Amino acid sequence: MHVLHVVGARPNFMKAAPVIRALSNRPDIRQTLIHTGQHYDPALSGIFFAQLNLPDPDVNLDVGSGSHAWQTAEVMRRFEPVLLGRNPDVVLVYGDVNSTLAAALVCSKLRIRLAHVEAGLRSFDRTMPEEINRVVTDQLSDMLFTPSEDGDINLQREGITEEKIFRVGNVMIDSLVRLLPVAMQCAKNGLPERYVLVTLHRPSNVDDSASLRRTLTALLVINDLLPVVFPAHPRTRQRIKQFGIDTGKLHFVEPLPYIEFLSLQCHATVVITDSGGIQEETTYLGTPCLTLRSNTERPATVRMGTNVLVGQDPKLLNSELTQILQGKGKKGSIPPLWDGHAGERIAEALHKASATYA
């Protein structure tokens, strides 16, 4: 069986690596890796591939950034001839980025089997572009690999038949489990003993001047209590400069490779974020997480984990932070099947299905 993987952004790398590794142990499976180049920083992407032990892509489409429509269309235009030339038995797409949707649409038009890793996640907020990508990709997929029970329920509610749904656990946690011992040994490079780790990149938080200013003002207040360490997304830096916002003594650092950022999460007193993947990682690590969103497509992190949704409410953010600093923060647990073996379960499901691809 020939399996073709499509990745487009760094979160995809963390999800694809365990699946590629698990499939590499099966001599009956041949693999191809396509990188769309949706998010591409030559230095940082290379480090991610090295740290995750990912093979070099067989093809890089070099799409680059652009509007949602342009980027999706360009991935489709460049991916179609590659797919026709490679003729895989099944295409694996990951997560909810534009590359995921674009590849799914091309596979559907060419009638090539499609498998979606991290299927069934729903924020129920159609203003989020990622939600559209998730819903459409799931409707087009032949195999849907879900991380948790809520994913199964969402898919069944949307009319997906049970035989297409495979609850395998959280594949991104596989990468975390494998590299956590290395991350724990990373030097803190002069960071204080206690600090707040912040990430911020979603358009709803950074593209509106008033919203971004309100959040950064709240972070400046927090910084008086505990140092704020802020690996700033390029989009966020651009908006801060564009809006002329004073960031005071916030400690900005460049975006970090996977292992180094994982180390920061391990040692942080609390993480403040709007990232979906970080909600999951902090839940596994037991690190308190305050999410600057009013909804999440990862409800297991709220229901079972350490995650609390605070929206864009500075008072609620400060209140929850105070609870954490007083040792009264939320204590979480690790959801079922978030055990480092999701990639192996995906490989087994694909192996069992291979007879139908012959």
- Do both 32 and 162 map to the same domain? yes
Q: Determine the Cα angle at 138 with ends 67 and 343, to 5°.
A: 100
- Do both 11 and 158 map to the same domain? yes
Answer positive or negative: Cα dihedral of 311, 306, 149, 131.
positive
Identify each DSSP E strand in the chain by its residue range. Answer: 2-7, 30-35, 59-60, 90-94, 113-117, 143-146, 165-167, 196-198, 228-231, 251-253, 270-273, 289-291, 307-309
- pLDDT on residue 16: 98
Q: Which domain holds residue 95?
A: 2-169+338-357
- pLDDT on residue 66: 87
- Do both 290 and 264 map to the same domain? yes
Domain for residue 176, yes or no?
no
Q: How far is the CA of 88 from the CAs of 91, 175, 347, in angstroms?
A: 7, 25, 16
Into how many domains does the chain fold? 2
pTM reported for the whole predicted model: 0.95
Answer positive or negative: Cα dihedral of 214, 98, 38, 114.
positive
DSSP state of 311: T
Quickly tell me which residue has 């400069």 as its tokens: 241
Domain for residue 289, yes or no?
yes
d(CA 48, CA 52): 6
- Do both 146 and 224 map to the same domain? no
- pLDDT on residue 358: 57
User: Tokens standing for 328?
Assistant: 């009264």
| φ/ψ of residue 283, rounded to 5 | -60, -45
- pLDDT on residue 205: 87
- Do both 163 and 281 map to the same domain? no
Helix (H) or strand (E) holding 315: helix 314-325
Domain for residue 37, yes or no?
yes
> To 10 degrees, the CA torsion angle through 340, 342, 348, 350?
-150
Spatial CA neighbour of 1 closest among 109, 161, 112, 78: 112
- Do both 52 and 154 map to the same domain? yes
- Do both 139 and 223 map to the same domain? no
Please check whether residue 335 is in contact with residue 300, taking contact to mean a CB–CB distance below 8 angstroms: yes
Domain for residue 34, yes or no?
yes
Question: In the β-sheet with 196-198, what is the strand arrangement from edge to edge?
Answer: 251-253, 228-231, 196-198, 270-273, 289-291, 307-309
One of 68, 116, 201, 233 is an active-site residue; which one?
Answer: 201
- Do both 224 and 288 map to the same domain? yes
Domain for residue 331, yes or no?
no
- Do both 34 and 161 map to the same domain? yes
pLDDT (tens place) for every residue of the chain, 358 residues total: 999 999 999 899 999 999 999 999 999 899 999 999 987 666 667 888 999 999 999 999 999 888 999 999 999 999 999 999 999 999 999 999 999 999 999 999 999 999 999 999 999 999 999 999 999 999 999 999 999 999 999 999 999 999 999 999 999 999 999 999 999 998 777 788 899 999 998 888 888 899 999 999 999 999 999 999 999 888 888 899 999 998 988 999 988 999 999 999 999 999 999 999 999 999 999 999 999 999 999 999 999 999 999 999 999 999 999 999 999 999 899 999 999 999 999 999 999 998 776 5
Domain for residue 332, yes or no?
no
CATH number for the domain including 151? 3.40.50.2000
Report the 10 Å Cβ neighbour count for 52: 22
Domain for residue 174, yes or no?
no
Told to judge if 116 belongs to the known catalytic residues of this protein, a careful annotator would answer: no
Which residues, 6+ apart, have CB-to-CB distance to 189 below 8 Å? none
- Do both 282 and 258 map to the same domain? yes
- Do both 163 and 203 map to the same domain? no
Beta strand pairing status for 2-7 and 90-94?
parallel
- Do both 294 and 155 map to the same domain? no
Domain for residue 50, yes or no?
yes
